[in-house]
Amino acid sequence: MSARTRTARLGIAVAAVAALVATASPALAANSTTGATGTTGTTGATDANNHPPVYWGRVTAKSGLLLRDAPTRGSRVIRTEPYNAKVPIFCKTGGDDVGGNHLWYLLTDGTWAWGSAKYIANIGAAPRWC
């Protein structure tokens, strides 16, 4: 693995961890002081509780979508999502080219896995950049 690839993966990992911390911290604070669970909007704007937005997509890969631990084709497969599944998206970033599309989406369903945007159709607004 080249130094450039390692640096890119490290930067993406740091961004993902920062996003996870930023997402969890306001929710934990809100829950501990008010008992509220809070909700995240689907419009791309930060909600009243200052939670980051959740975007949505639909899997278009007929054989299902491989979800990976980094936005690269050679990274480890964590799990799969079936065709036509609705998936929550936290943000997008550049990565390996898949069928002419270099964008990858970070899914926020508990595993924080990356899926190629080539096989995820946006529902509503396009995700923000990571």
| Residue 109: per-residue pLDDT | 82
Cβ atoms < 10 Å from Cβ of 100: 6
pLDDT: is 14 or 78 the higher one? 78
Q: What is the pLDDT of residue 52?
A: 73
pLDDT at 37 over 60: no
8 A C-beta contact, residue 92 and residue 104: yes
pLDDT, one tens digit per residue, over 38-87 is 334 444 555 567 677 889 999 999 999 999 999 999 999 999 999 999 99
% of the chain beyond a pLDDT of 90: 55
The model's pTM is 0.65
Q: Which two tokens stand for residue 58?
A: 């639909």
Cα–Cα distance, 74 to 97 (Å, whole number): 11
Cβ(48)–Cβ(106) below 8 Å: no
Domain borders along the chain are 3-123
The more confidently predicted of residues 24 and 107 is: 107
CATH architecture of 3-123: Roll (2.30)
